[in-house]
């Protein structure tokens, strides 16, 4: 039977547990019911199917309510006490670090953790464990956009202004994002813009639900977005649409970009991308026509081995048109995970300390160490990025144990079979989760954790707005919060400093640690968030209004000017060939979320999207002898997945699409290429080469 919660009829205002839109909702009643909030600008009374059904997660039948532990590798998971589990983790941690050094222990976090938990987890890794080996699944989300915006603007923050700016825009270009399915209430703002006469342009190899609502759909070959962006900038130059005055006043480095894009004449770009020249001309003219235009990139432009440069090319276009730093205009990134923004600002990333500080910056180390009460020299340096960390597990010189919070890399990481092998090679794998996810099933110790509605904290949404998540119900008996788990382990490890279990106390420490950093939260308090409906960072003092539009006066670079960077198209890390003649791209569907550990347990969502599939053009299916609904083997150089065929003319005939939410034989990440971007360390999820064949004779439908 599902666990019972202690409930009352109090209506609790909070936010959705899923994407970075962080839609406002109210929870109350018994059983708990969800009601959308009208007072949150992001959703203004709307919710998607995932949000409406989110309360069902609280009582899933396989909810964990007691720790589980294996007596030895290969033995079954058996219930145990909290003391037994935590004592063993501490003992094994000490043993392994004594034998192999501090970096023998790795920590892997998640972009869904609250700011308080992300902060405390980074602190725990660095001063309780003393390890440099910490990263998180947000590395797989928008790290390329973060690297590109830091390079161009000196600061990385989702949207360039409040989400309500979108409805007032003249033109919006969405590159590689399907917001109609990934964050449906976002479409309200795009529809408002279109109703006012604005133009929506979508770049995507598929005619997605978002592309169908666009006035113009550019459908490039996967992996050619950078060439497209350079081609658009070439056209802007030749048609006299660049803002030379803005370029001179607010930017550096344009001449090098001008030289590079001279080589991207329209016919050449059409040959590379497959996008007709008239579509490119219309795109540039629409972006340049009005006073308010926005270019927004998402995972389709970012999850590449050259993802940072791809995003940079679109930032170059935005800068040349004079968009960033103007109210209602600019470049923005559509953050994916619920706290994808805040999760990387406060210490989960391998190279960062709280406040978006670089861990190898002596001044940053001194400030944060002072807040933590330790010597700066004791803080470790940068560690491995997410995929590199997973690939090093159990190897010579790699971590021998890993503590995992809020992530399911068996499903979400590229080249998943190799990730499974590395996890299984560990001396100790600990997973903190609310169910036995595919990764938790492989763990030696599983710690049952509280869910989103059972604890309080803050989240930072895609606008850079810090919001309150409020506890609506108490967790089941036997379940602890991540903050309680971290504090208990820190105590057993005799860690220095204070380790509070109270989110408000942790947030106050986070404020002090972030003070003076790029992501300065020091002026944000729970009381202000309550009174103001959220506060935009940076906010350096309690009398500061917050910063909804950070670049109006200057960029966050030393000289206050944005930086152009010349980038060249090189193509995908793995192109199609005779053996693997079809492009694979991956993504999400409306009714599922991320690795599916949450949504695949909600009845209505399973009914809406029960299994993985491969979307392919009818012409490709005919050539391969594949029928609608037939099982198809899709093979890459890394593995094979078996999925059902879904035929549609909404995708290019040289490309197939598989959503990545499912485990088992339909796992998309059995196929994906772990080639990494040299700056962001983002794997190339969005394009690799595959071959397809019917899984049954004559392609018959099963």
pLDDT digit string, tens, across residues 112-153? 999 999 999 999 999 999 999 999 998 988 899 999 999 999
Q: What's the chain's length in residues?
A: 702
Q: Taking CA 162 as the corner, what is the angle to CA 156 and CA 167, rounded to the nearest 5 degrees? A: 125
Average pLDDT over residues 253-259: 98
pLDDT of residue 340: 85
- Same domain as 291, residue 257: yes
pLDDT of residue 342: 86
- Same domain as 404, residue 381: yes
Q: Are 488 and 482 in contact (CB under 8 A)?
A: no
Per-residue CA distances from 423 to 408, 413, 443, 444 (Å): 12, 12, 8, 11
Average pLDDT over residues 348-372: 96
Q: Where are the alpha helices (DSSP H) in 40-125?
A: 49-52, 82-100, 115-123
First to last CA, the chain: 34
- Same domain as 252, residue 151: yes
Q: In this model, does residue 700 exceed pLDDT 90?
A: no
- Banded model confidence at residue 338, pLDDT cuts 50, 70, 90: confident
- Banded model confidence at residue 538, pLDDT cuts 50, 70, 90: very high
What's the CA gap between 42 and 337, in Å, rounded? 15
Burial 194-210 (b: 16+ CB within 10 A, else e): beeebbbbbbbbbbbbb
Residue 627 lies in a domain: yes
Prediction pTM value: 0.95
pLDDT of residue 27: 96
Q: In this model, does residue 7 exceed pLDDT 60?
A: no
Percentage of the chain with pLDDT > 70? Answer: 98
- Same domain as 499, residue 389: yes
Burial 677-693 (b: 16+ CB within 10 A, else e): bebbbbbbbbbbbbbbe
Q: Which of 448, 469, 504 is the last residue of a domain?
A: 504
Percentage of the chain with pLDDT > 90? Answer: 94
pLDDT digits (tens, 9 = 90+) for 14-49: 999 999 999 999 999 988 999 999 999 999 999 999
- Same domain as 261, residue 189: yes
Residue 282 lies in a domain: yes
Q: Which of 333, 349, 364 is the last residue of a domain?
A: 333
Residue 51 lies in a domain: no
Cβ within 8 Å of residue 192, ≥6 positions away: 166, 167
- Same domain as 284, residue 269: yes
Of the candidates 296, 250, 298, the one whose C-alpha atom is nearest the C-alpha of residue 153 is 250
- Same domain as 350, residue 262: no
Give how many domains the chain has, as a whole number. 3
Q: Which of 268, 301, 333 is the last residue of a domain?
A: 333
- Same domain as 350, residue 328: no
Q: Are 287 and 171 in contact (CB under 8 A)?
A: yes
Tally: H helices and E strands in the chain:
24, 30
Q: Are 393 and 423 in contact (CB under 8 A)?
A: yes
- Same domain as 210, residue 279: yes
- Same domain as 259, residue 191: yes
Q: In this model, does residue 518 exceed pLDDT 50?
A: yes
What's the CA gap between 482 and 108, in Å, rounded? 13
- Banded model confidence at residue 5, pLDDT cuts 50, 70, 90: very low
- Same domain as 586, residue 603: yes
**φ, ψ at 266 (rounded to 5°):** -55, -45
Average pLDDT over residues 514-542: 97
Give the per-residue SS3 of 182-204: HCHHHHHHHHHHHHCCCEEEEEC
> Pairing state of beta strands 77-79 and 68-70?
antiparallel
Where residue 116 sits, what CATH number does that domain have? 3.40.50.740
pLDDT of residue 699: 52
Q: Which domain covers residue 221, as residue numbers?
A: 143-333
What's the CA gap between 652 and 468, in Å, rounded? 43
pLDDT digits (tens, 9 = 90+) for 187-213: 999 999 999 999 999 999 999 999 999
- Banded model confidence at residue 567, pLDDT cuts 50, 70, 90: very high
Average pLDDT over residues 335-364: 91
* R_g of the chain, CA atoms, integer Å: 24
- Banded model confidence at residue 290, pLDDT cuts 50, 70, 90: confident
- Banded model confidence at residue 6, pLDDT cuts 50, 70, 90: very low
Cβ atoms < 10 Å from Cβ of 472: 25
What single-letter DSSP state applies at residue 220? Answer: P
> Pairing state of beta strands 688-694 and 582-587?
antiparallel
Residue 214 lies in a domain: yes
- Same domain as 204, residue 164: yes
Residue 152 lies in a domain: yes
What's the CA gap between 6 and 15, in Å, rounded? 20
Residue 586 lies in a domain: yes
Cβ within 8 Å of residue 165, ≥6 positions away: 159, 292, 294, 327, 328
Burial 277-307 (b: 16+ CB within 10 A, else e): eebbbbbbebbbeeebbbbbbbbbbbbbbbb
As a whole number, the mean pLDDT across the chain is: 95
Per-residue CA distances from 616 to 145, 182, 628, 647 (Å): 29, 20, 10, 5
């Amino acid at each position: 039977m599902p666990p019972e919660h202690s409930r009352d009829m109090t209506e609790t205002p909070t936010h959705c547990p899923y994407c970075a839109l962080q839609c406002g909702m109210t929870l109350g009643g018994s059983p708990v019911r969800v009601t959308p909030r009208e007072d949150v600008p992001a959703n203004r009374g709307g919710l998607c199917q995932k949000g409406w059904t989110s309360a069902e997660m609280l009582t899933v039948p396989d909810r964990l309510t007691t720790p589980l532990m294996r007596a030895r590798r290969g033995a079954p998971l058996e219930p145990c006490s909290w003391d037994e589990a935590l004592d063993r983790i501490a003992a094994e941690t000490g043993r392994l670090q004594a034998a192999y050094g501090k970096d023998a222990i790795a920590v892997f976090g998640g972009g869904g953790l609250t700011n308080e938990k992300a902060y405390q987890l980074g602190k725990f890794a660095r001063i309780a464990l003393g390890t440099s080996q910490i990263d998180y699944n947000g590395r797989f989300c928008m790290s390329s956009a973060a690297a590109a915006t830091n390079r161009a603007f000196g600061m990385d923050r989702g949207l360039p202004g409040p989400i309500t700016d979108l409805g007032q825009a003249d033109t919006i270009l969405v590159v590689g994002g399907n917001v109609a399915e990934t964050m449906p209430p976002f479409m309200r703002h795009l529809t408002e813009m279109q109703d006012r006469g604005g133009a929506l342009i979508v770049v995507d190899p598929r005619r997605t639900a978002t592309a169908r609502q666009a006035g113009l759909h550019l459908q490039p070959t996967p992996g050619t977005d950078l060439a497209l962006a350079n081609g658009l900038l070439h056209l802007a130059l030749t048609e006299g649409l660049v803002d030379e005055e803005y370029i001179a006043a607010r930017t550096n480095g344009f001449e090098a970009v001008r030289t590079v894009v001279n080589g991207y004449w329209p016919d050449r770009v059409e040959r590379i991308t497959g996008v007709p020249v008239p579509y490119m001309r219309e795109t540039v003219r629409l972006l340049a026509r009005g006073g308010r235009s926005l270019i927004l990139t998402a995972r389709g432009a970012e999850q590449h081995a050259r993802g940072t440069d791809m995003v940079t090319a679109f930032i170059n276009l935005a800068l040349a048109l004079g968009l960033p730093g103007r109210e209602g205009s600019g470049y923005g990134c559509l953050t994916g995970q619920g706290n994808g923004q805040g999760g990387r600002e406060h210490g989960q990333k391998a190279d960062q300390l709280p406040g978006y500080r670089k861990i190898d910056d002596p001044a940053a180390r001194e400030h944060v160490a002072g807040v933590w009460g330790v010597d700066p020299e004791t803080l470790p340096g940068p560690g491995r990025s997410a995929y590199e960390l997973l690939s090093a597990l159990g190897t010579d010189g790699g971590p021998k144990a890993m503590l995992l919070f809020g992530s399911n890399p068996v499903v979400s990481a590229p080249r998943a079979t190799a990730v499974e092998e590395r996890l299984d090679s560990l001396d100790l794998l600990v997973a903190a989760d609310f169910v036995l996810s595919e990764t938790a099933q492989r763990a030696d110790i599983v710690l049952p954790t509280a869910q989103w509605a059972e604890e309080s904290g803050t989240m930072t949404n895609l606008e850079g707005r810090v919001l309150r998540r409020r506890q609506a119900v108490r967790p089941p008996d036997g379940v602890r919060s991540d903050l309680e788990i971290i504090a208990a382990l820190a105590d057993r490890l005799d860690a220095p400093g204070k380790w509070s279990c109270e989110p408000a106390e942790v947030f106050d420490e986070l404020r002090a640690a972030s003070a003076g950093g790029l992501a300065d939260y020091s002026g944000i308090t729970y009381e202000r968030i309550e009174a103001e409906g959220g506060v935009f960072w940076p906010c350096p003092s309690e009398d500061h209004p917050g910063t909804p539009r950070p670049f109006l006066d200057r960029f966050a670079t030393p000289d206050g000017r944005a930086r152009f960077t010349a980038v060249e198209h090189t193509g995908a890390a793995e192109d199609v060939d005779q053996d693997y003649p079809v492009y694979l791209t991956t993504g999400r569907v409306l009714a599922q979320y991320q690795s599916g550990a949450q949504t695949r347990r909600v009845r209505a969502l399973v009914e809406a999207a029960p299994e993985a599939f491969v979307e392919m053009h009818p012409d490709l299916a005919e050539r391969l002898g594949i029928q609608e609904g037939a099982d198809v083997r899709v093979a890459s150089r890394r593995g094979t997945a078996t999925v059902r065929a879904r035929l549609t003319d909404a995708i290019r005939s040289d490309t197939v699409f598989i959503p990545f939410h499912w485990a088992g034989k339909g796992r998309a990440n059995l196929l994906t290429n772990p080639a990494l971007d040299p700056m962001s360390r983002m794997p190339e999820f969005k394009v690799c080469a595959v071959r397809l064949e019917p899984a049954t004779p004559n392609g018959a439908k099963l």
